[in-house]
Amino acid sequence: MHEPRTIGFIGTGIMGGPMARRLIDAGHDVRVWNRTAAKAAALGATPVKTPAAAADGAEIVIVMLSSGPVCDEVILGEHGLLDTMPPDSLLIVMSSIPVETARHQAEAAGERHIHYLDAPVSGGERGAIDGSLAIMAGGDEATFARARPVLESLGRPVRIGPAGSGQLAKLINQLVVASTIATVSEGILLAERGGADPARVREALLGGFADSTILRAHGQRMIEQDFAPGGPAKWQLKDTRTALAQADSLGLDLPVATLVNRLFEDMVANGDGELDHSALIRELRRRNALPC
């Protein structure tokens, strides 16, 4: 077993809650903060009233909040984490945020002699519960080595490169996820309208070149119309928009990602933003004048 650490954990939502729980179960001393205090208290960790209280004296602080602006507010704002964390401590931002936001946070942390790692994740709520998350880390090798024992309680960490590169890998992940959801949705819809049983079509595709985690997990969700949010569509849209902005800054035209982003924009505009991102099939049904 790895040496127990004192960890401040910021944000215990759909993903953050089970992640914090795994750190507690691994024997770490975890202090948690969440905007909704009841969510933090339910974990059995030490709940605190402010992010600063979670960070005060902690060896490691993990941030799992909803967006770049929210992370910046908590990390860089008045009485932010960087004003509270001791020198030589480690800040791990596991939220999905823009690449430049991560780089700016890393620079600000370095000025205060605080080590920084951006380490966004993929795998949804089930991956957070099981400790099987894909963890894409950006930071120097020594910082990653220091964080690795803690991250391994949450999933499979891989260092991509310097600060910000973890977020770039996550944007790539989100483009692949979004476009695969769209394609699987179209396939299931085509099976239905063509007179085939979508469940049997899905079963037949497993193990072939069309197989994927999306087909296995979200294809089943689409067939069962089970859209309780593991990854809400509104956050998928946030990430595809961020990915396209990053591509635009590099002078790239990504036509498939642009089309899929538009589908998610329409889905959210039509009131499905709180549903799981696999509910994109509902948007395709609307486009084809079919019942949702």
pLDDT tens, 76-100?
Answer: 998 899 999 999 999 999 999 999 9
Q: How far apart are CA 277 and CA 228, in angstroms?
A: 10
- Please report the beta strands in 54-95, taking only residues with DSSP state E, as ranges in sequence order: 60-63, 90-93
Look at residue 2 and tell me whether its pLDDT is greater than 80.
no
Q: What is the pLDDT of residue 260?
A: 98
Contact (Cβ atoms closer than 8 angstroms) between residue 129 and residue 110: no
DSSP E strand boundaries for 37-140: 46-47, 60-63, 90-93, 115-118, 121-122, 133-138
Residue 1 has pLDDT above 70, yes or no: no
Residue 201 Cα distances to 176, 211, 219, 280, angstroms: 22, 11, 10, 19
- The C-alpha atoms of residue 200 and residue 196 are separated, in whole angstroms, by 8
Pick from 44, 168, 28, 150: nearest CA to 90: 150
Mean pLDDT in residue range 176-190:
98
Q: Please say whether the dihedral angle defined by the alpha carbons of residues 8, 11, 15 and 21, taken in this order, is positive or negative.
A: positive
Pairing of strands 46-47, 90-93: unpaired
- For residue 139, is it left (φ>0), alpha (ψ between -120 and 50) or beta? left
Please indicate whether residue 238 is annotated as part of the active site.
no
DSSP character at residue 268: I
Q: Does domain 6-162 have CATH number 3.60.20.30?
A: no
CATH of 168-287, one of 1.10.1040.10, 3.40.50.1950, 3.40.1160.10, 3.40.190.150: 1.10.1040.10
Asked whether this chain's domains 6-162 and 168-287 adopt the same fold, the reply is no
CA-CA distance, 72 to 270, in Å (whole number)? 30
pLDDT (tens digit, 9 = 90+) per residue, 142-178? 999 999 999 999 999 999 999 999 999 999 999 999 9
Average pLDDT, the chain: 95
Domain coordinates in residue numbering, the chain: 6-162, 168-287
Mean pLDDT of 283-289: 98
Token readout for 213 is: 């985690």
Active-site pick, 49, 170, 234, 238: 170
For residue 64, CA distances in Å to 44, 74, 128, 206, 287 come to 18, 11, 12, 33, 35
Is residue 103 a contact partner of residue 97, using CB atoms and an 8 Å limit?
Answer: no
Angstrom CA distances, 17 to 71, 186, 201, stand at 17, 33, 35
Backbone phi and psi for residue 224, each to the nearest 5 degrees, phi listed first: -85, -10
* Distant-in-sequence, close-in-space partners of 193: CB < 8 Å, separation ≥ 6: none
Strand partners, 133: 155
